[in-house]
Amino acid sequence: NAGVTQTPKFQVLKTGQSMTLQCAQDMNHNSMYWYRQDPGMGLRLIYYSASEGTTDKGEVPNGYNVSRLNKREFSLRLESAAPSQTSVYFCASSAGLGLLSPLHFGNGTRLTVT
């Protein structure tokens, strides 16, 4: 059972470079999310997709774009990376937006921007 798969696991970028973080889930979940985790700050929601074809901003969307490519895949793009985007990024999915739909997390992508 793969669950939520994120690639890559690690990435180093220079300021101004762009990249896309990939996420795929095999649980037939409707909703998908991107969070970033910074020391002492918990997880903060960047963007989420309630269902295929929809995306919404979360708490910290600036500097990011997302694409819900299909039901399985939800990508996060950094168009021009900045050192402030150094973080661990987690993708998550859930069956729906209902409050009892637990989030299933991937193992994270550790991104460093120099």
Partner 1 sequence: GEDVEQSLFLSVREGDSSVINCTYTDSSSTYLYWYKQEPGAGLQLLTYIFSNMDMKQDQRLTVLLNKKDKHLSLRIADTQTGDSAIYFCAESMSPDTGRRALTFGSGTRLQVQP
List residues binding partner 1 (CB under 8 A): 4, 31, 33, 35, 40-45, 48, 50, 56, 58-59, 90, 92, 94, 96-108
DSSP letter at 73 equals B
Q: Considering beta carbons, is residue 32 or 78 the nearer one to partner 1?
A: 32
- Least distance to partner 1, CB of residue 27, Å: 14
Q: Considering beta carbons, is residue 5 or 17 the nearer one to partner 1?
A: 5
Structure tokens that stand for 103 in this block: 């989030």
Q: Considering beta carbons, is residue 17 or 27 the nearer one to partner 1?
A: 27
Residue 44, C-beta contacts closer than 8 angstroms, at least 6 positions apart: 35, 36, 37, 38, 58, 59, 60
- Least distance to partner 1, CB of residue 40, Å: 5
Q: Considering beta carbons, is residue 75 or 101 the nearer one to partner 1?
A: 101
How far apart CA 66 and CA 71 sit, in angstroms, is 14
- Least distance to partner 1, CB of residue 99, Å: 5
* Neighbouring C-beta atoms of residue 25, cutoff 10 Å: 23
| Radius of gyration over every alpha carbon of the chain, rounded to an integer in angstroms | 13
